[in-house]
Amino acid sequence: MRCVLAAVTVVALLLNGAAQAEKHIFIIANDADDYGVDRCLVSNAGCGATVANAYCHSHEYAQALSFRKVERDEIAGAISASATSACIESRCDALVAIECSR
């Protein structure tokens, strides 16, 4: 009976640890750089998964869980879109959220 209880406890702890994997959401500027990477992330194109995974790997995370375009007003404490430091010649860079997991 003790062996069964010990086995159930170990399995529960392992499942609980896997369910609580560390996640982090990075908010990055989606700068147009003539490589086309910006279009991959903003448009949710298939190449975006590769770019998002590479970004997560570069920050020592295992994989990208999701990525999407975000608006400035979705981010708490963000600079407004009308701020001059956020926009150049009335063009504001898009922001992308990449959710990474360890």
The model's pLDDT over 75-94, given as tens digits with 9 standing for 90+, comes to 776 555 555 455 565 566 67
Instruction: Give the pLDDT confidence score for residue 64 in this predicted structure.
Output: 93
The model's pLDDT over 31-64, given as tens digits with 9 standing for 90+, comes to 766 666 777 887 777 888 998 999 999 999 999 9
Q: What is the pTM of this model?
A: 0.64
Q: What is the DSSP annotation of 86-98?
A: TEETTEE-EEEEE
Domain ranges of the chain: 22-101
- Residue 40: count of CB within 10 angstroms of its CB: 20
- Residue 66: count of CB within 10 angstroms of its CB: 14
Residue type, 16: N
Q: Give Rg (Cα) of the chain.
A: 20
Q: How far apart are CA 85 and CA 87, in angstroms?
A: 6
